[in-house]
Amino acid sequence: MFITNGPIAHFILVLCQTNQTIQPSYRGQSIILVEKDAAGFTATDVGEKMGNKMTPTGELSFNDVKVPATNLVGKEGQGFYQALRIFEEIRVEVAAQALGIAQGSFDRALAYVKQRRQFGRKLEDFQATRHKLAELVTKIETARLMVYRAAWGIDQEDIDPKVTSMAKMYATRVALEVADEAIQMHGGYGYMLEYDVERFYRDARIMDIYGGTREIQKNTIASGLLR
């Protein structure tokens, strides 16, 4: 359920139990490649979403699906560890995506307050606006450094789950906050479909969920601190 690009994917990597007796059970998990036209496999679009509309989301069903042994990805019993590595990269990718939304929202807001006039003055001349811009750009740059640090660790094959979780959790929250404030700065126009900021807000919301919720990220961070 809720598999990104599920309805249009030609190949699906499935984490499944290939050894039913080994303990702990995760040591018996493997990743299997399933092709979309495999007998017994179906992918159904789950319907319209609030945001992130450029990627369809689907529910995948497997009914007596058979694949050749050559469809094993990597070694048998290593699937759990492979999945952990994949999730580390996904967290950084989602964090980078969130950073882009935050920057895009900020850029739109900055351009708007420079030209919009209220009470005979441009919005950029009000101290409240200036303070809000200062707060937001500081958070964006902090998120950027965290994302870059996490991405560097992956590039160097020196992955710290604590760092990737911090980057994902922080960047996604910043994206939602900046998008929300961008709408606020636009006033009523920010709620209209003709302005990008409303879409940024809708797209930002899912960032805090997919790739691991903020609660999962907090657990990972705490485990890294307390081990």
- Token duo for residue 110: 């900055």
Model pLDDT, residue 17 = 94
Provide CB contacts within 8 A for 111, sequence distance 6+.
Answer: none
| pLDDT in the model for residue 75 | 95
Residues forming CATH 2.40.110.10 domain(s) in the chain: 3-73
| Cβ atoms of residues 9 and 50 within 8 Å | no
pLDDT tens string 90-100: 999 999 999 99
Lowest model confidence (mean pLDDT) among 43-57, 94-108, 164-178 = 43-57
Average pLDDT over residues 202-227: 94
Average of per-residue pLDDT across 43-60: 92
CATH class as words, domain 83-226: mainly alpha
Q: What is the pLDDT of residues 106-124, one digit of tens each?
A: 999 999 999 988 888 999 9
What is residue 49's three-state secondary structure?
coil
Do residues 226 and 197 touch, judged by C-beta distance below 8 A? Answer: no
Q: What pLDDT sits at residue 128?
A: 95
**pLDDT of amino acid 117:** 86
Predicted confidence (pLDDT) at residue 1 exceeds the cutoff of 90: no
Q: What is the mean pLDDT of the segment spanning 164-182?
A: 98
Phi, psi (deg, nearest 5) at residue 176: -65, -40
Q: What is the mean pLDDT of residues 212-223?
A: 96
Three-class SS state of 137 = helix
- For residue 118, the model assigns a pLDDT of 85
> At the topology level of CATH, where does 3-73 sit?
Butyryl-CoA Dehydrogenase, subunit A; domain 2 (2.40.110)
Give pLDDT, residue 120.
87
CATH 1.20.140.10 range(s) for the chain read 83-226
Q: Dihedral sign for Cα 185, 188, 194, 199, please.
A: positive
Which whole number is the average pLDDT over 26-37?
96
**pLDDT of 169 above 90:** yes
CA gap 215, 196 in Å, rounded? 29
User: What pTM does this model have?
Assistant: 0.89
Q: Are 214 and 172 in contact (CB under 8 A)?
A: yes
DSSP 64: S
